[in-house]
Each structure stands twice: as structure tokens, then as C-alpha cells.
Amino acid sequence: MTLNTRVADDQLGQYYRRTAAIADRLGKYLDFEAVMSALQRIHDGQLEPTVLRVGEFPVWLEAEVGGKSKEELIALNKGAERETSSYAADIMSQDAWKPGQVELVKFARAKVRDLGFTKNPTTRELWACIEELGHSLCEPADGPALGGAFKDQPKGDVCWTAMKQITDSDGYPFVFALERRDVGGRWLDANWTFPVGRWRLGNVVVFPIRNK
């Protein structure tokens, strides 16, 4: 195969890294036939342009994060009519939870399938995919900050912060969840999130974006 010399080296590097990542996922949580079909459409020039921008997400929410204590964040959520569960309060009391530096961050909100998965990935695979796409995981204080900023959450909605898990007082790994139940109000919650636990394709995660 002859490569077009006008293609920049960094573009070739991105291409090879992405194809290597796809090859590594084949048979694990990417369906072989689905990938081959997509590659054939690319070869035939039939792929829609938007599909070539995998990894780009619109800004869902821009929020100020960092610089607030546990008590200040609980009060912030209370002011936004969002209660803080005992699970969320627990992991905010752990040494691994840090307030962080004040900054304005843009976040994306995506279903697991929107990240390219066709089979239910593990937490480890999901987090790795987000980083492979050029984004980053949430900082420990991002979840509570988003709880105070996400004021129009509809009933029945829940989303999880893609973040390094924090071990609670009983030794279980947790991440924050923003939830509004069908009956009742909004909650800043936290759920068990084991590295090998699997996510449904319709589950929704939020994370900082780096393409906007």
C-alpha cells in the first residue's frame, strides 16, 4: 500500500493508534462483523461524515468545579433542591476525595453505546475508552459540583460520573451519580462501581471534554 505523502505524520500516528485500539477490542466488546461492516463502508465511501468524528461530543454542561469543601458542596446541592445521600457523603469524607482547584470545565454526557461499544463493557474498559478518545475522567469534586449545577434534571433520569472510584468506609468502590427519581426529588448519590462490573449500553456517563 502506498501512503499519500501529503498526510501528516501526526495524522498517521492517530490512525495507527486508533486501529490498534480497535484490534485490541475485537472479540472483547466490539463485535467483529459490525467492525468489518463499518470498515467496508469506509472503503466504499458510504460512511456518513459524522461517524468520522467519533470521540467528539457537544457540551452538555459547563460548571465551576473545585475549591469547595464537603460541607459547602452539600449546601450547594441543597440550594439546587438536590439531597445528598449517605453514600455520597461517605465518599466525600474519604482521604481520596479532594476539593481540587477552582476551574471552569465543560462536560459531555453520553450513553455507553455512543462511545462505540456494541457489547456491555466493564468499568475498566469504559474508563479506558474515554481516555483513548482524548478526554479525561472526572476529578473527585466534579460530581458534587455538577449536582449543584444540573438544576433541570428530568424525572426518571440518572447519570454517573466517569471517575477513578473512591473506596467507602466499608471498603467498596463508588462513583457519584446524579439522579432524579420518578417519585421524589433530585439526589446526589453514589453507587458501587467495581472495575470488572459491566455497564449497560443505555447507561449514561458524564466526563470532561477536551475537543471544545
Phi, psi of 29, rounded to the nearest 5 degrees: -140, 10
Contact between 146 and 161 under an 8 Å Cβ cutoff? The reply is: yes
Q: How far apart are CA 39 and CA 56, in angstroms?
A: 19
pLDDT of residue 9: 60
The boundaries of the domain holding residue 46 are: 9-53
Kindly state whether residues 30 and 71 are assigned to the same domain.
no
* CA 142 vs CA 17, 49, 185, 196: distances in Å: 29, 33, 21, 23
Collapse the DSSP code of 156 into the 3-class scheme (helix H, G, I; strand E, B; otherwise coil) and give the result.
coil
pLDDT of residue 210: 67
| pLDDT at position 34 | 64
pLDDT at residue number 183: 82
Residues 20 and 76 in one domain: no
- Whether residue 1 lies inside any domain: the answer is no
Q: How many domains does the chain have?
A: 2
Residue 201 lies in a domain: yes
Q: Mark whether 48 and 114 lie in a shared domain.
A: no
d(CA 3, CA 11): 12
Q: Which residue positions in the chain have pLDDT lower than 70?
A: 1-11, 14, 18, 21, 24-34, 37-38, 41, 44-55, 210-212
Q: In this structure, are 133 and 37 located in the same domain?
A: no
Q: Give the pLDDT of residue 36.
A: 74
- What pLDDT score does 126 carry? 97
Q: 139 and 194 share a domain?
A: yes
The pLDDT value given to residue 6: 47
